[in-house]
Chains A and B, each alone.
Chain A
């Protein structure tokens, strides 16, 4: 069975500081990995995805994530936080074999950005 663990339900950084949101996954097949962001009262917006190929993937709003198979991790980073980055971030795993690609989400990490 697949699962996703996000360490830290709440992360607080200062504006301009590095953002690091952690995600570890468990999957018996090569995973497809995603980060979604949820602003208050809105749906889930895709930040970035890893399917195959380059393990460092770049997404929108300056975010990037690196797939590390040996560590079963897919941590999300941004060099310099902006106030507008305050939101909840969800890591998700999927495989497109027999399951038609349903996503398994982590519990989410709420990011706060202090001025």
Chain B
């Protein structure tokens, strides 16, 4: 069964550094999402992406965050200048075009900011 893949599985970065988290969504999916889960807390929506542009973003997704689909397969989340509070598990998800289809999640990237 096709799946969403995320790399790396664990990223350790110094505070203030830029980090890029990578995702390969399921190939025929049209909607792409990033979520994060701070340790011990619930999964929170960050941003959704459709037709090569952001369709919705949460309050968490400030100017330090950006997303890109640089080619036909990758979907990336960039954090420009990381803060300690960015430490979390980041999940990528994708969804097919039909509205009743569920989102499929990757296994996540654990981001640790030192």
Within 8 Å CB of A90, what residues of B? 42-43
Residue contact B50 to A100, C-beta cutoff 8 Å: yes
Q: How many interface residues does chain A have, given as a range?
A: 20 to 34
Q: How many interface residues does chain B have, given as a range?
A: 20 to 34
**Cβ contacts A22-36/B at 8 Å (1 or 0 each):** 000000000010101
Q: How far is the CB of B26 from chain A (nearest CB, A)?
A: 13
**Chain A-chain B contacts (Cβ-Cβ < 8 Å), number:** 64
| B107 CB contact (under 8 Å) in A32, A43, A49, A100 | A43
Residue contact A102 to B104, C-beta cutoff 8 Å: no
| B42 CB contact (under 8 Å) in A32, A52, A100, A107 | A107
Interface residues of A (CB under 8 A from B): 32, 34, 36, 41-46, 49, 51-52, 90, 92, 96, 99-108
Interface residues of B (CB under 8 A from A): 4, 6, 31, 33, 35, 41-45, 48, 50, 55-56, 58, 91, 93, 95, 99-100, 102-108
